[in-house]
Structure 1
Amino acid sequence: MKHPVRRWLIGIAAVLVLGAGVLVLVVRSKLPSDDEVAAKIAEGFEKRFGVPLKVGSAHWALLPTPMLVLSDVATGQPRPITLKRVSLQLQLAPLLQRVIALDEVEVDSLVLPRASVRAFRGKGPKPEEAKQGGNVIALPAPWTLAPVPLERVRWRDVVWIDRRDIPLAYDGEVAFDPEWRPRQLRLERAGPTPPAQPARLRLDRQPGQDRWRTRIDVGGGTWNGVTRFEVLPTGKLRVSAELEPRQVDIEGLVQAFDRRTSLAGKVSGQTTLTAQADTAEDLGSLLRSLHTRTVFTVQPATLTRLDVAKAVTTAGISRGGSTQLDQLTGTLDTQGTEDGVVMRYTNLKARSGVLTASGNLKLFNRKLDGEIAVDIVDGVVGVPLKIGGTMSDPELSLTGGALTGAAIGSAVLPGVGTAIGARVGQQVEKMFGGGEAPKGADKKAESKPVPRRAAPAASRH
C-alpha cells in the first residue's frame, strides 16, 4: 500500500504545482508590463487633472502578495509635488477580474507645496462618483477600483509646505471600516528635528457609531474629547468635535509647528469644532471650512513681547519687553478662508494684582489688530491701548483719544492731568513688576487731589 499512497501524494503535489503555474500564467497575461503601467498611470492622471505626471518607475509583484510599486513620481508644475515611493498591496481574487481592491497603501516621502496642491482644487471625484466608488486615482483601462474601501494607509515623511514656505512633516496611518469610515487614525509631527514635546492625534471609532474617541497630546498637555461624523440631508459630510484642552503649554504648542507666539503659559478650557465637505474624499474643502471656538484660561500668563507698563507711562509706541499676568481669559474663534486662517480673540480679560484689562484682537496673516483697555488707579482711569504690528514684532500704543485725554498727564485740565499721569506711572510700574516709582511721584499726586469726575476724560474707547 505504500507505493499507491506515495503515488497519490506525488500526483496531488504535481496537480497543485501545475495549478499554481497556470494561475501565475493567467494572472500575468492579464497584467500590463511595468512600462505600460507607468505610461497608463501618467496618461490617466493628466487626462483627469490636466496636470502632467512623471512616473520614474512602476513594478508589479505577484508573489508573495500582489503589489504595485511606483517610484520617483512628480507632477509637471513649476514647483512639483514629489513622491519618492508608494506601494499598493492588492487582493488577488478581485485582481483576476481586473478590479483593484487594496489591503494596504504605504506612502514614503511625499512633498506637497501649497501652491501646487491648489491647482487640483475642484478636480477630484464628483459626489456621485464617490458614492459609486468612482476612481479617486487614475487607473489604466479597463482596470477599476473596487467599491470596498481600502483597509489601511500608512504614511511617513509627508511634508506640507505652507504659504510662508515652512515645511511641516507628518507620519501616521489610518484603518478604514466600510463606507470610508476611519476605524483608527494616528497622526503626528515628524521630521529631521521633531519637537521636544510630541504633537500627536489619535482617533478610535466607537463600534457601530459615527463617534470617535479623540486624544491629542501637544505642548506637554492633552486636548481630548469626542469627534462626530454626520451625513447631512443635502448629502454633505459634517465633522464636529468637543474637546477639552488641559494644561497645554502655549509655547510648546506653536513650536511644534515651527511657529512663534507672544503669549506664554498653560492653557485650559473648552473647544468646539465644525467643518463640512461635499464628500469624505474632499479633504481640502473640509480643512478650508474648519471653524473652531475655544473658551480658554491661561494662569499664570506672560506677554513675552509686549510691555504694557511702558506703553502707558511713555505715551508712545512700545515694542519688546514683557508683561506678567496672574490670569488671562477669553474666547478664540478660528475660521478657514481662501487666504488663510482668521483668528479672533474676544472678551479678553487680564488680571495682575489690582490691575484689570479687557479687549479684543484679530490675527490674520501674522498681522495684529486690536484694542485693550487697562483699568488702573483703583478703577478711576481706563487707558485704551492699540495693538498692532506683526506676530514677530508686536507693538502697543495709546489710542488717539488717550493721547488727548487727561489719563497720561496731557494737562487738558491744568494740574489734574499731571496728577493722574504721575499716579498712572507709579501704579502701572508697581502692578506690572517694573521698577520703583520716581521719587516724589506720590507727593506730586497727593499735592493736587484728583476729582472723581476726571475719569471720563480717560474712558475706554
Structure 2
Amino acid sequence: MKRAVRSWLLGLAAALLLGAGVLVWLAASRLPSDEEAAARIAEVFERRFGVGLRVGGAHWSLWPSPVLVLSDVATVQPHPVTLRRVTVQLKLRELLRRVVAVDEIEVESLVLPRESLYAFRGKGPRPSEGRGAFALAAPWTLAPVPLERLRWRDVVWIDRRGIALAYDGEIVFDDAWRPREARVERAGASPPARLRLEREPGQDRWQTRIDVGGGSWNGVSVFEVRPNDALRVSAELEPRQVDIAGLLGAFGRRAAVAGKVSGHSTLVAEAGELGALLRSLHTRTTFSVRPATLVGLDLAKAVSTAGTSRGGSTPLDELTGTLDTQGGEDGTVLRYTGLKARSGVLTASGHLRFFNRKLDGEIAVDIVDGVVGVPLKIGGSASDPEVSLTGGALAGAAVGTAVLPGVGTAIGARVGQQMEKLFGTEPPPAATKKPSPAPRR
C-alpha cells in the first residue's frame, strides 16, 4: 500500500476515534450526577403513579457501555414495594443518536405485596399501546426493540394471605414488546415448576411448555389485539401425569386430592390494562385422576354415620370432572362440576365451590350403584373438610331407619333431600329427632 494512502487511512481512523471521544464527552457532560439522577427518578415516578419513591443509591457510567444502577429502592407505603438492585444497560451507539435502546435490565430481589399494588391499578401501560406506552420528550425516540432482554431473580409475590413465593426468569423481546422467548420458574421448587414460551416465527403464537409436579402441561398460547384495543390471551394446554400434591406444594398450597391428573385445559383473559388482564383470567379444565385419594374425607364412613364423621381418607379408582377458575377483585373462585368418583365400594357424584379456602358443595354417594344415593353437604376448609346431611336429608334418613334399617336410611335421606329442594325450606328441628320405637305386634 502506498505511504500516502496508508497515512490517509490512519488519519481518517484517528479522526473517527477523536470524534467518538468528543461525542462521549458531550453525552457525559449532560448526564446528571448520581444524586440528581436518584432525585429525578423519584420525582418522575411519583408524578406518574401518585406514590412516593425512595432511592437509596443511583450510579451512572458510560464506559465500557452506558449503565444505570439503582439500589435500595422502596415505595412510600405502609407495606412498601422494595427493590434491592436493578441494573439497566443501554447501547452506546443508539444513545449517541438520541435513541433509547436497552440491551438488558436485570432485577434482583424485588418484593411485591399484593395490597400495595392496588395503588397502581389503572396507571400502567395498556397492552395494545406497544412502543407508544412510553412517551419521550423530543428529540429522543425509542428503538424498534426498546428492550432486548429482561432478567429477574428472587422476585417475591406476597398474596392476600401473606404467602410469599419467589420467582426467577427472563424474557427476550421482539418488536412491539412481543416475547421471542420467555422462562418463568418457581425458585427452589422440587420437582421444578417452570413455564417456557417460544414464539413461532412471524406469528402471535407461542409454543408453551410447562413442567410441574413431575409431569407436563404443554400446548399453544395466542396473543391478539382486539378492535377495542384490549389484549386477548388464550391457550390450549394438555396436562399429562401431573402430581397434584407436587403442583400445589410448589405454590404453598395443600392438596385435598392425591394422585396424578391428565386432561385438557383452555385459558382466556381479555382486558385493556395489564393488571386487569391477570384479574380477568378464566380457565376450564376437564380432568381425570387415576387412581386418586380424597385426603381428610372418608366417604364410606360419612355415609354409615349419617355425615357426622370427620377426617380419614377415601381411595378411589378414578376421579373425573371439570374445574372452572375465574379471577376477580377478591381472589380466584374454583368451581368443580360433573364430579364422578368410583371405587370398589362406592360411587359418588356432585359439585363443589372453593373460594378463600372455604368449601361449599354437595356429593351424592351411591352405595348400590345407580339405585341408592346418600346426599352429603361438603363444608369447612381444604385442610379440614366437613361432611353433613342437610336438614331434609337427615329427617328422611331418620324415617328410613325406622322403616328399613341400612338401605332404608340411604333411601330416606335421598327422599328427604328431594322434598327439601321441592319446598325450598328446611324442616323444623323437631323433625330431625328420632321417632319413638314402633310398638311390637
- Give the TM-score, by structure 2 length: 0.88
Q: Which residue of 1 aligns with 2:424?
A: none
Question: Unmatched 5+ residue regions in structure 1?
Answer: 425-452
C-alpha change, 1:456 and 1:196, in structure 2 (3 Å) is closer
1:201 deviates by: 0.3
Q: Which residue of 1 aligns with 2:67?
A: 67
Q: Is the 8 A contact 1:367 1:391 kept in 2?
A: yes
For residues 244-274 of structure 1, the C-alpha deviation after alignment (integer angstroms, 9 at most, x for no partner) is 0000000000000011111100000000000
C-alpha change, 1:395 and 1:319, in structure 2 (3 Å) is same
In structure 1, C-alpha distance between the alignment counterparts of 2:224 and 2:16, rounded to whole Å: 50
Q: Is the 8 A contact 2:374 2:414 kept in 1?
A: no
1:311 deviates by: 1.4
In structure 2, C-alpha distance between the alignment counterparts of 1:150 and 1:160, rounded to whole Å: 24
Q: Which residue of 2 aligns with 1:236?
A: 230
In structure 1, C-alpha distance between the alignment counterparts of 2:400 and 2:227, rounded to whole Å: 64
Equivalent position SS for 1:299: strand
* Counterpart among 154, 162, 165 of residue 165 in structure 1: 162
Q: Which residue of 2 aligns with 1:441?
A: none
C-alpha change, 1:319 and 1:140, in structure 2 (3 Å) is farther
Question: Unmatched 5+ residue regions in structure 2?
Answer: 422-441
Q: Which residue of 1 aligns with 2:407?
A: 420
Q: Which residue of 2 aligns with 1:227?
A: 221
In structure 1, C-alpha distance between the alignment counterparts of 2:113 and 2:79, rounded to whole Å: 7
For residues 217-237 of structure 1, the C-alpha deviation after alignment (integer angstroms, 9 at most, x for no partner) is 000000000001111122211
C-alpha change, 1:458 and 1:327, in structure 2 (3 Å) is farther
* Counterpart among 279, 283, 287 of residue 288 in structure 1: 279
Residue 154, structure 1, aligned to residue 145, structure 2: no
C-alpha change, 1:143 and 1:70, in structure 2 (3 Å) is farther
In structure 2, C-alpha distance between the alignment counterparts of 1:102 and 1:120, rounded to whole Å: 24
In structure 2, C-alpha distance between the alignment counterparts of 1:454 and 1:249, rounded to whole Å: 39
* Counterpart among 394, 397, 414 of residue 403 in structure 1: 394
Residue 314, structure 1, aligned to residue 311, structure 2: no
Q: Which residue of 2 aligns with 1:264?
A: 258
In structure 1, C-alpha distance between the alignment counterparts of 2:138 and 2:39, rounded to whole Å: 12
C-alpha change, 1:118 and 1:14, in structure 2 (3 Å) is same
Equivalent position SS for 1:284: helix
In structure 2, C-alpha distance between the alignment counterparts of 1:4 and 1:126, rounded to whole Å: 59
* Counterpart among 227, 236, 244 of residue 250 in structure 1: 244
Equivalent position SS for 1:125: coil
Q: Is the 8 A contact 2:374 2:413 kept in 1?
A: no
Q: Which residue of 2 aligns with 1:135?
A: 134
Q: Which residue of 2 aligns with 1:305?
A: 296
Q: Is the 8 A contact 1:112 1:159 kept in 2?
A: yes
Q: Is the 8 A contact 1:342 1:364 kept in 2?
A: yes
The code of the aligned residue for 1:286 comes to L
Q: Which residue of 2 aligns with 1:347?
A: 338
Q: Is the 8 A contact 2:395 2:416 kept in 1?
A: no
| Structure-to-structure mapping, 1:89-104, within 5 angstroms | 89-104=89-104
RMSD: 2.6
Q: Which residue of 2 aligns with 1:275?
A: 269
1:17 deviates by: 4.8
In structure 2, C-alpha distance between the alignment counterparts of 1:456 and 1:81, rounded to whole Å: 54
1:68 deviates by: 1.2
Equivalent position SS for 1:208: coil
The code of the aligned residue for 2:340 comes to K
1:85 deviates by: 0.9
Q: Which residue of 1 aligns with 2:186?
A: 189
1:131 deviates by: 4.9
For residues 8-29 of structure 1, the C-alpha deviation after alignment (integer angstroms, 9 at most, x for no partner) is 7875665455334312211112
C-alpha change, 1:332 and 1:126, in structure 2 (3 Å) is closer
The code of the aligned residue for 1:218 comes to V
1:123 deviates by: 1.3
Q: Is the 8 A contact 1:361 1:371 kept in 2?
A: yes
Equivalent position SS for 2:147: coil
- Give the TM-score, by structure 1 length: 0.84
Q: Which residue of 2 aligns with 1:444?
A: none
In structure 2, C-alpha distance between the alignment counterparts of 1:240 and 1:82, rounded to whole Å: 32
Q: Is the 8 A contact 1:222 1:246 kept in 2?
A: yes
The code of the aligned residue for 1:269 comes to G
Equivalent position SS for 1:117: helix
1:34 deviates by: 1.7
Q: Is the 8 A contact 2:362 2:377 kept in 1?
A: yes
In structure 2, C-alpha distance between the alignment counterparts of 1:132 and 1:77, rounded to whole Å: 30
1:404 deviates by: 1.2
In structure 2, C-alpha distance between the alignment counterparts of 1:132 and 1:459, rounded to whole Å: 60
Equivalent position SS for 1:405: helix
When structure 1 is superposed on structure 2, of 242-251 and 396-405 the one drifting more is: 396-405
Residue 175, structure 1, aligned to residue 193, structure 2: no
Q: Is the 8 A contact 2:394 2:416 kept in 1?
A: no
When structure 1 is superposed on structure 2, of 72-81 and 373-382 the one drifting more is: 373-382
C-alpha change, 1:179 and 1:132, in structure 2 (3 Å) is closer
1:31 deviates by: 1.8
C-alpha change, 1:293 and 1:3, in structure 2 (3 Å) is closer
Q: Is the 8 A contact 2:145 2:174 kept in 1?
A: no
The code of the aligned residue for 2:407 comes to I
In structure 2, C-alpha distance between the alignment counterparts of 1:30 and 1:307, rounded to whole Å: 73
Q: Which residue of 2 aligns with 1:449?
A: none
Q: Which residue of 1 aligns with 2:41?
A: 41
In structure 2, C-alpha distance between the alignment counterparts of 1:414 and 1:98, rounded to whole Å: 90
For residues 363-389 of structure 1, the C-alpha deviation after alignment (integer angstroms, 9 at most, x for no partner) is 001100000000113543210000000
The percentage of counterpart residues that share the same residue type is 69
Equivalent position SS for 2:132: coil
Q: Is the 8 A contact 1:35 1:58 kept in 2?
A: yes
